[in-house]
Structure 1
Amino acid sequence: MKGFFITIEGLDGAGKTTQIKFLKEYIERRGYDVVVTREPGGTPISEKIRNIILDKENSEMCPKAEALLYAASRAQHTTEVIHPAIKAGKVVICDRFVDSSLVYQGAGRSLGLEAIKNINDFATNHIEPNLTIFFDISPEITVERIRESKEIDRLEQEEIAFHYSVYNEYKNLANKYSNRIKVVNANNSIDNIKNDIEIVINKLLEA
């Protein structure tokens, strides 16, 4: 059985976690072995790097260091989890992948998409998702959700302009890579979002 690599993208607070749980259960009912993971993180080493990246005490971290830390975490994650699972015929569902670095560091930190793509191509051996689902929702809504629900991390505390830069670049990527990136309206109800995602997944698995 051929493995698949599915990534879930969107702003923090877009509702990704809830839908990933539904998606895992849906694909398992189709007869696939599913691995759910996240970025930054997914392995013990990668989780330690995650803690460094998101720690609010690391306010002096420069954008290049941030981008390289994400890539380092991703290199370990790809080698240890993603590549082996796909090779074994499993479906990998990853909460964030390279697209997140393109939008957060490439656009949000103004490092440029080409530089971010190059370091991540090196980190991942050029692996690309079979499918990316982008949760489209306004930054105002997601920022309000985050700040009401939990203590915010270093990136979440950025000003709204930063989150808009990230959001707009997500939209650009969705237009540029429309064959891979499928957009779902994350303003909809949980059930409607779930149904929209299942339609997208069916097309992938049936192909």
Structure 2
Amino acid sequence: MSGGLFIAVEGPNGVGKTTAVTHLAARLDADGRNVHVTTEPSGTPFGRLIRASEGALTGRALALAVAADRYAHLEAEILPALEAGKVVISDRYVQSSLVLQRLDGLPLQEIWHYNAHVPPATLSFYLHNAPEVLRQRVARRPRRSRLERVGSPEQEIALYQEAFTFLAARGWRQVRTDCRDLDPDEVVAQLLRDMEQLGN
């Protein structure tokens, strides 16, 4: 990751990850940073196939497919961008697997086994909001994924807390961001303050 900065934006469904990534990228770009935005599953044909098949792929099959896409995503897109000195911002990363695949019935240690060779992000943000806010936002979506229907905001919040603790014990640099009563610009302002305090 020489020269670059890798930021992962995480959190339960409906918390505003994609909006935060878009606004953060715009702010960093305006500050003269060379920014590359990406997402998981990736935008490759394989990643798009996973998204299209999420209703049919379940359990171990989905976990393995997502992990395979992540390794390919790193090799083809993320690591080259970091080596070029870019700020890479990813909408979801390993933490999403540690949460969503658990909703799909797999134990934490098995999911980690599939992802254990993935390098940590330079900094991971965990966005948080009240369960009732998350529930309302997800309910307004025209289409809900299978895992959005299986889980609940309360379950996702609890599993993200477990993922935070699990990865902290493995040296991952992580920050929790409380988004309650904040608009997108205020959320990004908090992310930028945290980045500055941590020397990023």
What is the TM-score with the length of structure 2 in the denominator?
A: 0.87
The question of 1:76 aligning with 2:72 is answered: yes
- The correspondence for 2:139, drawn from 136, 142, 147, is 147
Shift of 1:103: 1.4
**Distance in 1, Cα, partners of 2:172 & 2:111:** 21
Letter in 2 for 1:138: A
* 2:18 paired with 1:25: no
- The one-character-per-residue Cα deviations of 1:61-101 (angstroms, maximum 9, x if unpaired) are 43111211211221221111111111111111000001110
Q: CA deviation at 1:12?
A: 1.5
Partner of 2:88: 92
* Distance change in 2, residues 1:97/1:159 (3 Å): closer
Does residue 67 in structure 1 map to residue 68 in structure 2?
no
Letter of the structure 1 residue corresponding to residue 118 of structure 2: H
Contact map agreement 1:7 1:129 (CA 8 A) in 2: yes
Q: Which residue of 2 aligns with 1:3?
A: 4
Counterpart among 186, 195, 198 of residue 189 in structure 2: 195
Equivalent residue for 1:37? Answer: 38
Q: After the TM superposition, which residues 103-114 of structure 1 pair with which residues of structure 2 at under 5 Å, given as runs? A: 103-105=99-101, 107-114=102-109
Tell me if structure 1 keeps the 8 A contact 2:103–2:150. Answer: no
Q: Which amino acid aligns with 1:180?
A: R
- In the alignment, the residues of structure 2 paired with residue 15 and residue 165 of structure 1 have an alpha-carbon distance, to the nearest angstrom, of 17
Gaps of 5+ in 1: none
Secondary structure at the aligned position of 2:6 is classed as strand
Distance 2:112 2:151 in 1: 25
The CA distance in 1 between the partners of 2:114 and 2:162, in whole Å, is: 20
RMSD: 2.1
User: Helix, strand or coil: the match of 2:148?
Assistant: coil
**Superposed CA offset, 1:123-165 (max 9, x none):** xx431101011111233321221111321122112243xx433
* Paired positions, count: 195
Amino acid at match of 1:192: E
| Residues 24-76 of structure 1, C-alpha deviations (whole Å, 9 max, x = no match) | 022223332111010112323222222112x3xx2xx4311121121122122
Counterparts of 2:197 and 2:105, CA distance in 1: 35
CA distance in structure 1 between the aligned counterparts of 2:130 and 2:71, rounded to whole angstroms: 31
Take 2:80 and 2:182, find their aligned partners in 1: how far apart are those partners?
35
TM-score (norm 1): 0.84
Alignment of 1:175-186 (within 5 A): 175=165, 177=168, 180-186=173-179
Instruction: Give the letter for the 2:136 counterpart.
Output: E
Partner residue of 1:136?
128
Kindly indicate whether residue 53 of structure 2 is the aligned counterpart of residue 52 of structure 1: yes
In structure 2, stretches of 5+ residues that fail to align are: none
1:149 is paired with a residue of what secondary structure? coil
Q: Is the 8 A contact 2:103 2:147 kept in 1?
A: no
Q: 1:86 to 1:175 in 2, by over 3 A?
A: same
Paired AA for residue 39 in structure 1 = E
